[in-house]
Structure 1
Amino acid sequence: LDDVGKPKAEVAAKRVMERVSGVNITPHFSRIEDKPLDFYSDFSIIVLGLDSIEARSYINAVACGFLEYDDDDNPREETVKPMVDGGTEGFKGHARIIVPGTTPCFECTIWLFPPQVKFPLCTLAETPRTAAHCIEYAHLIKWSEVHSGKSFDPDSPEDMQWVYSEAVKRAELFGIPGVTYSLTQGVVKNIIPAIASTNAIISAACALETLKIVSGCSKTLLNYLTYNGVEGLHTKVTEFVRDKECLVCGPGILIQVDKSVTLKKFIDQLEDHASCS
């Protein structure tokens, strides 16, 4: 209970160093976007345990941004920053290897992630049928009516409590059961309860693949592992293929431009390259 309210990064670092002798961990409690690129360039491998598509896309773009190609469009090995990505959702999870320029990057397989479920505003306002409808009504409609000009902060306990209270009132008005504080957090922040066993399996897979990359002791995963523990235990490895036209990890086109060139000449130069390709 002493750790409740403390940053996860700091608590996790402390606990690991207490349990494993000789390990030195420096925790950072901040937004990943706030770190300069030099911070990421210092790492030889990046392990991701992020909670959103946006965060993964950002780190993927950063890592691929360090990638350079030679004249034959082959990745320069010294510029490659491998990534190991793990994620869980209830009893399901995945672990994947991303080697920029060799395996598919995150953007190459962005189609794996379905769009987030959205509720029609008319349903929320007029005919709510579920607890989630009541919560989204309080979050998307009622909040802006009462707190004009103030943005809702999903990380604020006070803001979340307000939405929960309003959702309860809405649910009582329409006779809808099931509104709880934890469900409110889940709907507003798209949180799915974490299962300890799933987290353990996926984190172990990520740790193993990281060890393989660092030590070269064995071949790495090719290249996407999925786990499903809903009914028993099922794992599968799928070898996805790179999108050679990917704007994030592809070689692109290198254009040399004089700093004194006018905007029109620069646009003409871009058009010339496009017509040649």
Structure 2
Amino acid sequence: MAPSKDQKFALVTGCGQGGIGEALVTEYTKRGLHAIATVLPQESSEHLTKAGITFFLLDVTVEQSIIDLKQKILALTGGRLDVLVNCAGIAYTMTAIDTQVASVKKMFDVNLFGPMQMVHYFHDMLIRSEGAVVNIGSVGGVVPYMYGSSYNASKAALHHWSNTLRLEMSPFNVRVITVISGEVGTNILKSDVNRQLPPGSYYMPLASEFTAHCNRVPKKTTDRFDYAANVVNQSLKASPAAWFWYGSATSIIRFFDMFAPRTFFDFIFWREFGLAKLQKAHRTNAAKKAV
């Protein structure tokens, strides 16, 4: 049976248990939309089944997986899609100089090229519905958050791709919202738990601090369901914010990003991450080698 013409559909990628995506599809369902979740083929979908939420398997890094998903969405919605939320994302924590580029390429495939492919294949459905694209960014794409250079780069790239997408979709009355997210209470750090500095790293004097950072449980985070309620509300507005800042510390970061010198956050993170200790150790080692 064809869906009602009044029924709206929201597709959200990256809806594994405990993440932002799960919270978003829950909120869209509360708002009366038919929420469609995606999970990786190897992920559990039990949480979505229990909640009665429609889901499909998807790997945003595999083009054929997206093509197959589109055919399923077309059959389900009759060709309409009102909201596409590019939420699938992974983290990679490492110093910039010790970065394994192969790992970064994998992250970019998910965080940047995934959204690009989703929009490429679903843009006609969004244009038909005069819908909205929501790209989940991060304050990491704005400030030089330590040990996150590659993740920050993937989000900064997403932000600026999203900027141009917003302009190019405007003639078709498709809204594009870039969400600048603060730290939200999710399990995105799960892949970093066992990460350590490589042997011989110049950052070895901070090895214990680095390990603690990778295993941290953030204290000041935004509840993911509160975050989802605000993002969903923004996505359903006729004139949403181009950049919607929401989550822990976003207000103060936004203020200082606008008005402080570009190196302001260098000073903040120098102190927070103990770079004076690293500098002292480096100078001591250099002096020993010079003798």
**TM-score tier (shorter):** 0.3 to 0.5
Structure with more helix by fraction: 2
Give the structure-2-normalised TM-score: 0.36
Larger relative contact order, structure 1 or 2 (CA cutoff 8 Å, min sep 6): 1
What TM-score do the two structures reach when normalised by structure 1?
0.37
- Based on CA coordinates, which of the two structures has the bigger radius of gyration? 1
